[in-house]
Amino acid sequence: MSTGRKILATNRRASHDYFLEERFEAGLVLTGTEIKSVRAGRVSLQHSYVTPRSDELWLVDAHIAAYEHGNRENHDPTRPRKLLMHRREINRLIDRVSTRGYTLVPTLLYLKEGRAKLEIALARGKHQYDKRQAIAARDSQRQIEKSLRERERE
């Protein structure tokens, strides 16, 4: 098995829609055909979220495509998947989500030493004006970099 991380899917929309405050690593409970599809990179985290159910964390609406060479026992692409974390971390996250207006957002899915891992972030929602400010700041930074490059060419 290789060491290191192989990034399979990112949720770029999360940083646009939320202020991402803390990040955590969680394992995933997957079936045989699911891990084969994950290793093939056929995963989408768009529109997915993490929710607590009965003192456990679950990944909901993540799309793992059906395995091409699977049989009739292939998995449901959008079924809820249980996340594996330490009990202390789970209790802390459930407490933060339930009392302070935070949510849990999946940001990254990757392979680490042959195992599928999910990076989740404790996040607060952005207002529309926050999103506009971020876009304006990004555009102005691009303009500054562009003018600096043009100045260097002269």
Closest CA to 29 of 78, 79, 82, 80: 82
Q: How far apart are CA 140 and CA 130, in angstroms?
A: 15
Q: Is residue 49 part of a domain?
A: yes
- Structure tokens given for 140: 């102005």
pLDDT band per the 50, 70, 90 thresholds, residue 3: low
Q: Is residue 133 part of a domain?
A: no
Q: What is the mean pLDDT of the chain?
A: 85
Q: Is residue 150 part of a domain?
A: no
122 and 21 Cβ atoms separated by less than 8 Å = yes
Q: How far apart are CA 106 and CA 95, in angstroms?
A: 18
Q: Is residue 139 part of a domain?
A: no
Q: Is residue 12 part of a domain?
A: yes
Q: Is residue 31 part of a domain?
A: yes
70 and 112 Cβ atoms separated by less than 8 Å = no
Which residue is it, tokens 């405050």?
A: 21
pLDDT band per the 50, 70, 90 thresholds, residue 34: confident
pLDDT surpasses 60 at 2: no
- Number of structural domains found in the chain: 1
CATH assignment of the domain containing 25: 2.40.280.10
Mean pLDDT of the region 25-46: 88
Q: Which domain holds residue 28?
A: 5-125
Spell out a b/e string for 40-51, using b for 16 or more CB atoms within 10 Å of the CB, else e.
Answer: eebbbbeebbbe
Q: Is residue 96 part of a domain?
A: yes
Q: What percent of the chain has pLDDT over 90?
A: 26
Q: Is residue 50 part of a domain?
A: yes
Beta strands in the chain (DSSP E): 5-10, 18-28, 43-44, 49-53, 56-60, 63-64, 81-84, 103-112, 115-125
Q: Tally the C-alpha atoms within 13 A of residue 114's C-alpha that lie toward its C-beta.
A: 2
